Amino acid sequence: MALIRDFEIPGSGLVVNDAYHIIVNVATEKRLSDILPPPDPTQPSGLSVRDDTDESQFVYWKSGYIGRIAIEVYSSKQARTDGKKPIGALATSPTEVNVDCQFATSGKDFKVLFFIDPDSPDSILTQAYNHLKTTEYYKDAIED
C-alpha cells in the first residue's frame, strides 16, 4: 500500500506531481502514563496550562499505544520498483528513514504520530495508513 500525492522537495521549491509515499517504518511505544506539561510557577498547579479539549494533540502527551510513522517519498511507483533513491521523507527524525538528511522533513507538521488500537483487527501498518488519510496533508491522496 502507498499514498500518491504531490510532494515539494524541502527547501527547493520543486514540486513532484503524483509522488509515491510509502510507510517504511512504524515505531511503537507503550506510554504508561500521561506526560505532564512543563512547569509554570505562575499557575496554581505549578504546571503550564494545556488545552485538553483538542483531541488531535492527545497523542503528544496521553498514555496509550503510540505509533510513529516514517515515510519515504519516491518520484513514482516505478522509481521505487526500479530501486531509485527516495526524493524525500516525512519523519520525526532524519535517522528514521534511509534518506539524506537534507531531504527529511520534520514529521510533526504531517501528523506522523497516532494512537494504535491494540484490539483492532487491522494491522498496525493498516492503522498507520488509515491515520494518514485523516490528516490534512493526505486527505486527498490516492491509495495504491
From the number of C-beta atoms within 10 Å of its C-beta (0-12, 13-18, 19+), residue 15 rates as exposed
Compute the C-alpha angle 143/101/129, nearest 5°: 20
- 122-125 contact pairs (CB < 8 A, 24+): 124/26, 124/28, 124/67, 125/1, 125/23, 125/26
What are 57-89's pLDDT values in tens digits? 889 889 999 999 999 999 999 999 999 999 988
With 60 as the cut, is the pLDDT of residue 108 above it? no
The amino acid that residue 122 corresponds to is D
What are 31-59's pLDDT values in tens digits? 999 999 889 999 998 988 887 787 878 89
Q: What percent of the chain has pLDDT over 70?
A: 93
**Spans of all domains in the chain:** 3-33+57-139
Residues 6 or more apart whose CB falls under 8 angstroms from that of 144 comprise 1, 2, 3, 4, 20, 77
Would you place residue 11 in the very low, low, confident or very high pLDDT band (cuts 50, 70, 90)?
confident
pLDDT of residue 93: 78
Residues 6 or more apart whose CB falls under 8 angstroms from that of 22 comprise 1, 2, 3, 71, 72, 73, 74, 80
pLDDT of residue 95: 76
